[in-house]
Amino acid sequence: MSDKTNSKPEIGAFFARDRAWHPPAFAPGYKTSILRSPQRALLSLDGTISEITGPVFGHSILGELDNDLIHNFAKPGESAIGERIIVHGRVLDERGRPVPGVLLEFWQANAGGRYRHKKETYLAAIDPNFGGCGRAITDEDGHYAFRTVRPGAYPWPNGVNDWRPAHIHFSVFGHGFAQRLITQMYFEGDPMIWKCPIVGTISDKAAIEQLIAPLDWGNTIPMDARAYKFDIVLRGRRSTLFENRLEGN
Amino acid sequence: MVQKIGYLRETPSQTAGPYVHIGLAPNFCEIGGVYDADLGISLINDRTLGERITVKGRIFDGAGAAVKDAVVEIWQADSAGLYNSPSEMRGTADPNFVGWGRCPTSAEDGVFRFETVKPGRVPYKHGRWMAPHITLWIVARGINIGLHTRMYFPDEAEANAEDPLLARIEHRDRVATLIASQDGSIYTFDVHLQGDKETVFLDI
């Protein structure tokens, strides 16, 4: 890594998670959480080497079209149907430092809100040229980008008339397994965001706003694709200047 | 006024949802041709050092039903107790063992399964050592933030007795929820999300 702030491996434990900022396990407006939420308190412990460390994936795992959902499932010469967009941003930690070399995976429905999954039965049509998965690894500045079509909203059996806002799921690895995160990105201006019980599992409006990607006019490519910018923040880690070193360090 | 501390806020978690496989295991859900193979399906090869073991189990909800749409990830040290991570400062881990695996629970019976090696012991702080363990991270529809837990080994009673994490469990009858059952080289670790048998989950 050429970035000097990240040139030395970091071995500090991570900042404690603010679990009032994240959604709670039990959020009954999202019905499935009722039987899938632990009722006992979590066991709290400062991170050990088992959480400070984590897997790192090399660029060699990536195929040429892994970050191009418009083409990575399409027949040769064809492309997915929908509003062409670029989604890009940076992965930072809570200290504002870029997190280089981390794997992001994303998945989404097609332009009509239909997922390519055998358990999905929504009557909107499958797009024969759209799979819905992609991945990227952040560069030295923590930056990532992918190309896709804007997903549609879709209905789901929670309340009688619940619809998910347009969203893209993100899975992010950090440098330590304690940073592991799955979240969802929403789109600026979508009125569905404020009706959604899954969004509503988060109680703090500022936390919800952190999941809404603004339209990025500056990076919109004329006559091609609009851009949305979605930055992701992972847990920060302590400096180790005055820490008891792990055995063998 | 004091100085602004200037830290950012962590991006909030959201559920992985029922179609998590599209992103994390596309071949598993019949989206072929995008990736050669799903990531994390294999931890070992012919040259991996250590004792071969199988780790399997199911995840049960508060009604006792198996969760058939979860994804389980594991992270563990190699057989010598070294992590294959840039943050591992004590030595170089077995290059034939990444130490990370990912397995969706089966849509038929809810079972997850990993072929791996038994991890060596790793250090805690203050000269103490942890017992051999495997870290698990579980996501699914209905789980708003990924659940961390650990699997320990029933044939490591002495090491388990001095493990700093197990020692912190106030209600001692709950320690057993983190210890797998064993049949030869097969370890079964069932996770209970809720209720009388609820697994100890970690804020770590």
A38: nearest CB among B35, B36, B193: B193
What value does the mean pLDDT of chain B take? 97
Residue A243: inside a domain: no
Residue B14: inside a domain: no
B90: nearest CB among A21, A210, A249: A249
Chain segment B101-156, per-residue pLDDT in tens: 999 999 999 999 999 999 999 999 989 999 999 999 999 999 999 999 999 999 99
- Amino acid B66: pLDDT: 98
Contact B7 A96 (CB under 8 A): yes
Residue B201: inside a domain: no
Q: What is the mean pLDDT of residues B42-51?
A: 98
Contact A22 B15 (CB under 8 A): no
- Amino acid A11: pLDDT: 85
Residues contacting residue B2 through CB under 8 Å, at least 6 positions apart: none
Q: Does B194 touch chain A (CB under 8 A)?
A: yes
- Which residue, among A101, A156, A163, A110, has the nearest Cα to A133 in the 3D structure? A110
The CATH number of the domain where A117 resides is what?
2.60.130.10
Which one is predicted more confidently, B1 or B183?
Answer: B183
Residue B97: inside a domain: yes
Q: Is the pLDDT of residue A6 over 70?
A: no
What value does the mean pLDDT of chain A take? 94
- β-pair type (A143-149, B191-192): unpaired
CA distance B190 to B139: 15
Host domain of residue A164: 65-234
Indicate the SS3 state at residue B45. Answer: coil
Number of domains in chain A: 1
Q: What is the mean pLDDT of residues A24-28?
A: 98
Q: Does A131 touch chain B (CB under 8 A)?
A: yes
Q: Which of A8-17, A37-46, A128-137 has the lowest mean pLDDT?
A: A8-17
Window A:23-42, CB contacts with B under 8 Å? 23-25, 27, 30, 32-40, 42
Q: What is the mean pLDDT of residues A175-179?
A: 97
Closest residue of A to B21, CA-based? A117
Q: Is the pLDDT of residue A245 over 70?
A: no
Answer yes or no: pTM beyond 0.90: yes
CA dihedral defined by A38, A183, A90, B87, rounded to 10 degrees?
30
Using pLDDT thresholds of 50, 70 and 90, give the confidence band for residue A2: very low
- Amino acid B155: pLDDT: 97
Q: In Å, how far is A73's CA from the nearest CA of chain B?
A: 6
Residue B84: inside a domain: yes
Q: Does A93 touch chain B (CB under 8 A)?
A: yes
Q: Does B116 touch chain A (CB under 8 A)?
A: no
Residue A212: inside a domain: yes
Token representation of residue B69 = 């749409």
- Amino acid A85: pLDDT: 98
Q: What is the mean pLDDT of residues B174-202?
A: 98
Q: Is the pLDDT of residue B63 over 70?
A: yes
Window A:159-198, CB contacts with B under 8 Å? 169, 171-172, 175-178, 180-184, 198
Residue B9: inside a domain: no
Q: In Å, how far is B144's CA from the nearest CA of chain A?
A: 6
Neighbours of A104 (CB within 10 A): 21
Chain segment A127-137, per-residue pLDDT in tens: 999 999 999 99
Instruction: Say what percent of chain B tops pLDDT 70.
Output: 100
Using pLDDT thresholds of 50, 70 and 90, give the confidence band for residue A8: confident
Q: Does B5 touch chain A (CB under 8 A)?
A: no
Side chain identity at residue A2, one-letter code: S
Q: Which residue has the tokens 């006024």?
A: B1
Host domain of residue B136: 20-192
Q: Which of A8-12, A127-131, B103-107, B159-163 has the lowest mean pLDDT?
A: A8-12
In sign, the C-alpha dihedral spanning B12, B143, B70, A148 is negative
The CATH number of the domain where B40 resides is what?
2.60.130.10
Contact A11 B87 (CB under 8 A): yes
Give the DSSP H/E element, type plus range, for residue B158: helix B157-161
- Amino acid A10: pLDDT: 83
Number of domains in chain B: 1
Q: Does B80 touch chain A (CB under 8 A)?
A: no
Residue B7: inside a domain: no
Contact B139 A38 (CB under 8 A): no
- Amino acid A3: pLDDT: 44
Using pLDDT thresholds of 50, 70 and 90, give the confidence band for residue A244: low
Using pLDDT thresholds of 50, 70 and 90, give the confidence band for residue A249: very low
Contact B89 A9 (CB under 8 A): yes
Q: Is the pLDDT of residue A5 over 50?
A: no
Residues contacting residue A188 through CB under 8 Å, at least 6 positions apart: A212, A213, A214, A215, A228
- Measure Cα distances from A200 to A154, A195, B133 in Å: 17, 8, 36
Contact B168 A43 (CB under 8 A): yes
Using pLDDT thresholds of 50, 70 and 90, give the confidence band for residue A243: low
Q: Which of A4-8, A39-43, B200-204 has the lowest mean pLDDT?
A: A4-8
| Partners of residue A203 in chain B, C-beta under 8 Å | none
Catalytic residue positions of A, numbered: 115, 154, 164, 167, 169
Q: What is the mean pLDDT of residues A207-216?
A: 98
- Amino acid A9: pLDDT: 77
Window B:14-43, CB contacts with A under 8 Å? 14-24, 26, 29-31, 33-36, 39
CB pairs under 8 A between A and B: 292
Instruction: Say what percent of chain A tops pLDDT 70.
Output: 94
